[in-house]
Amino acid sequence: MKYLLVLGLVLVVFWAWRSARDRRAASLRQADKPAPVPVQTEIVECDLCHLHLPRPDALIGATGTFCSDAHRVQAGREA
């Protein structure tokens, strides 16, 4: 009976040591991770050549969205 109590105590100490170690490792892992940078750039399509490009790089014309000034002018002529 005495050995059973000692074994139980050893198991409890081992469990406490392991869970403390796991918690420490998890917090270290989270500290190493860089904060996620939310990058959301809308992708638009050129109405003439169908090239996909980020909206900030696109030219918004009266007749649609274009990848370059040449395509905006060309689409304006064709329309």
16 binds Zn ion, rule: CB under 5 A: no
Q: Which two tokens stand for residue 73?
A: 């002018």
Whether the Cβ atoms of residue 43 and residue 61 lie closer than 8 Å to each other: no
Least Å distance between CB 75 and Zn ion? 8
Helix (H), strand (E) at residue 11: helix 2-32
What is the DSSP secondary structure assignment for residue 62, as one 8-state letter?
T
CA 12 to chain centre: 40
Site track for Zn ion across 23-62, x = CB under 5 A: -----------------------x-xx-x-----------
75 binds Zn ion (CB under 5 A): no
Site membership for Zn ion, residue 72 (CB under 5 A)? no
Residue 54 beta carbon to Zn ion: minimum distance, rounded to whole angstroms: 14
